[in-house]
Structure 1
Amino acid sequence: MIMENKALLPEQRETLFSTLKGRFEKNMSRHQGHDWAAVQAKLEANPEKLRSLYEMEETGGEPDVVGLDTQTGEYLFYDCSAESPKGRRSICYDNEALESRKENKPDNSAVEMASDMGIELLTEAQYRELQQLGKFDTKTSSWIITPPDIRKLGGAIFCDFRYGHVFVYHNGAESYYGARGFRGCLRV
């Protein structure tokens, strides 16, 4: 659900702030030492980021603050839904992979969707950091940023959490599965 108009309606904005604040307060272990008032002030100073958070929420990502980049002063929001966001599954890795499919094309690709939403796919390091905050993708998997040398050869990588461990796998970039989507990161 990519929004044509980047500005949220007042009621959408109010609902989003209420949802984000509730999730923030419920999951303080994800962002110890930070308070919601500072996060909200940063969001209000960067209203263009609200559209991205809205889309993360609307596609089932349950975005939440997971840290602060001390070099840039930006809060990091990751998708914290228990499983890969429902509204972002059954997609291949990128547009090149999508175009290479001759039949049974998925509706979109992870890289294109993330770009349209104004977010980035998680890196492997970010995915591993997320797993320190809970158990995510125990039944699903998520595409992550693929190194150029792997992508050049036609592959893409994804992660999941099984048997108490994070696993990193590879697949053809044109592959797609009902249980594979992607998680994103937004810097505010």
Structure 2
Amino acid sequence: MALFHELYENRAATTDTVQAEVRRKALATNAEPQGIQSAAVRARNFFLNSARLDVQELPMSQEVAARLQVVLEQLRSYDAARRRPGMQGHGLTEKHAGEATLIVAATQRNNPVLLTNDAGASHVADRQLPNIPSRHFGHILHELVCHAGDSIQLDDVISDYEAACHISGIPDDARPSASTGYFTCSRDTSSGKCIACDQT
């Protein structure tokens, strides 16, 4: 988390809706899947309680409310289309509020990039005009490896990646095929740039 803050300070932001969700999950007991509460506690303590992360409150104008509704419907449609017949889950009316606010907030920023492990959120963000590119935890972790250099161990990186996937799974088709190779810096000695980072 400290490395993420160092690399993304003054660039990363979230919304008040996501903040409320993180705080709720941090207070949950056994209602959440294993690992989510402890992850939420760490995020709450490091990013939210310390004000290290900018929290944006969307203005509730008619335009913003209408855009939120459109994005919510897009997210729910994506979710419903991939739900197996007879499969039960959280009510669709309660899902995706956080992702929707992030996408709408991103449309109000210059050169936004959405950080999400949710395939539906990535799909819907890409449908906005102009489209919003997205990155998942693996992309960010790769950048942190390049930024940290020799101060971070590959075994620790892979362990953190697998733990994060367990909590908030990256879709299988978006995961790197070989974690060891993916989380190795490909910095060009002459240009000083990481070839892999520039391609993601």
TM-score by length of 1: 0.32
> Which is bigger in relative contact order (C-alpha 8 A, separation at least 6)?
1
Higher Rg: 2
TM-score norm. by structure 2 comes to 0.31
Larger % of helix: which?
A: 2
User: Whose strand fraction is larger, Structure 1's or Structure 2's?
Assistant: 1
